[in-house]
Amino acid sequence: MVLPTTLGAAQQLARGRIPASEARMLLCHLLGCGAAQISAYPERPLTEALAQSFMELLARRIAGEPMAYLLGVREFYGRDFAVGPAVLIPRPDTELIIELALELLGRDTRAPILDLGTGSGALAVTLALELPTSQVMAVDFSAAALDVARHNGERLGARVAWRESDWFTDVDATGFGLIVSNPPYIAEGDPHLSQGDLRFEPPTALASGPDGLDDLRRIIHAAPGFLTDDGWLLLEHGYDQAGLVRDLLDQAGYRDIRSARDLASIERVTLGRRP
């Protein structure tokens, strides 16, 4: 295999295989410099070790591995979160939960907050930093995911109480003013699971029973025992599940139920107050 000896040659090699922007991002990651520099200095030499690393990343990207896993980082609500195969890659749509939480509670809230299935910790850490006067607890059933979340909390300076727990089973507190969750909500066997980034993400963070609603049902049924009288439950769900989630909340007796739209104008988050 011929190794590229300059930045320009590396980008040339990637052409037609991955988008040019991704090739630049991989080079930035390896060299620790900005994308503008990558484009401005095509003649800059690449050491053999860096060229080797670039070829490895290129091969993994061509095989479909998500950019976020190759770079080890994904931005969420303006902050960089470490990510790896143990956690779902944070999506821009999920920032809607943060916006709604800020709107419902206000900046000076002291309401304790719980994040269920925290994964990378994106929601819990962001809430803890945006609402510094409230206490945030976050759970995940995966110890490997919690390691990633804890690392993000420490690096970004967020105070979060981390717990290993299968939804509420090991939550050792009640009286939350807000419970948020981006649970798995894709139907088992859905073709999306075998496409794009999803092929490489933890299946347990994505799929949830034959209709995708198993975990949403569990959370909706158990949450009232952990919320204050007027506490809110905020749930992300699939693009076609808003009506179903509103019905589940309604059947469980929740009040003030409504759905909110994401950047693509899809009803993506549904909320309600404790029954």
Residues that bind ligand GLN (CB under 6 A): 88, 91, 182, 184-186, 198, 206
Taking the C-alpha atoms of residue 3 and residue 50, their distance in angstroms, rounded to an integer, is 10
Taking the C-alpha atoms of residue 165 and residue 43, their distance in angstroms, rounded to an integer, is 52
Three-state DSSP at 68 gives helix
Shortest Cβ 41–ligand GLN spacing (Å): 36
Shortest Cβ 90–ligand GLN spacing (Å): 10
Shortest Cβ 268–ligand GLN spacing (Å): 8
Q: Mark out the alpha helices in the chain (DSSP H runs).
A: 7-14, 20-31, 35-40, 48-62, 67-71, 95-105, 122-130, 143-156, 214-222, 242-251
Taking the C-alpha atoms of residue 156 and residue 228, their distance in angstroms, rounded to an integer, is 29
Query: Which residues sit opposite 138 in a β-bridge?
Result: 115, 162
Identity of the residue, 11 or 182, whose beta carbon is nearer to ligand GLN in the bound complex: 182
Identity of the residue, 145 or 198, whose beta carbon is nearer to ligand GLN in the bound complex: 198
Shortest Cβ 2–ligand GLN spacing (Å): 37
Shortest Cβ 185–ligand GLN spacing (Å): 5
Identity of the residue, 44 or 190, whose beta carbon is nearer to ligand GLN in the bound complex: 190
H helices, E strands: number in the chain: 10, 9
Identity of the residue, 118 or 134, whose beta carbon is nearer to ligand GLN in the bound complex: 118
Identity of the residue, 184 or 272, whose beta carbon is nearer to ligand GLN in the bound complex: 184
Taking the C-alpha atoms of residue 8 and residue 39, their distance in angstroms, rounded to an integer, is 8
Three-state DSSP at 269 gives strand
Shortest Cβ 12–ligand GLN spacing (Å): 32
Identity of the residue, 126 or 182, whose beta carbon is nearer to ligand GLN in the bound complex: 182
Identity of the residue, 41 or 239, whose beta carbon is nearer to ligand GLN in the bound complex: 239
CA-based angle 78:79:82, to the nearest 5?
145
Contacts of 6 by beta carbon, 8 Å cutoff, 6+ apart: 42, 43, 44, 45, 46
Shortest Cβ 218–ligand GLN spacing (Å): 14
Task: Report how far apart the first and last C-alpha atoms of the chain are (Å, whole number).
Answer: 64
Identity of the residue, 112 or 184, whose beta carbon is nearer to ligand GLN in the bound complex: 184
Three-state DSSP at 207 gives strand
Shortest Cβ 238–ligand GLN spacing (Å): 7
